Amino acid sequence: MNKPTFLLTGLLVTLCALPSHAEPWHKHIDKPWKNHKRHKKEVHVIHHDYKRSMLPETAVFLAIAGITYAVIDGKYYKEGKDRYIYVERENLSRYRPGQIVKRLPEGATVVHKKRQQYFVSRGDWFLPLDNGKYVVVAP
């Protein structure tokens, strides 16, 4: 055999033998922790104020003692000069949701929300029942 043929044969044998001698620790390793989908936590945003023009359609307006409030997602916003400002309210509730009362407290005001009539007194919401009583509901 001449020298170039010998070198070419040696090179082909070496190339064919290399994959069979590969070390197992050089294989691709799956990383299951990278494939895990991350669950995002639910975030509740409390706006500290709303411009009049930016109030959501779900806002309910109340007039209590001559002051106008917007109720948005159960949070109270007091009317200011050009915006509604978030109001921290004390827990003045004397009632718990689901409680049935025979009559409304004094000063309860009528509120219409989603074609349903409610009565509101000191932050408590009442829904009229067919039997003339009222049930306390969450806003």
SS3 label, residue 54: helix
Residue 46: the pLDDT is: 66
pLDDT-based confidence at residue 21 (cuts at 50, 70, 90): low
At 88-106, the pLDDT tens digits run 765 556 788 889 999 998 8
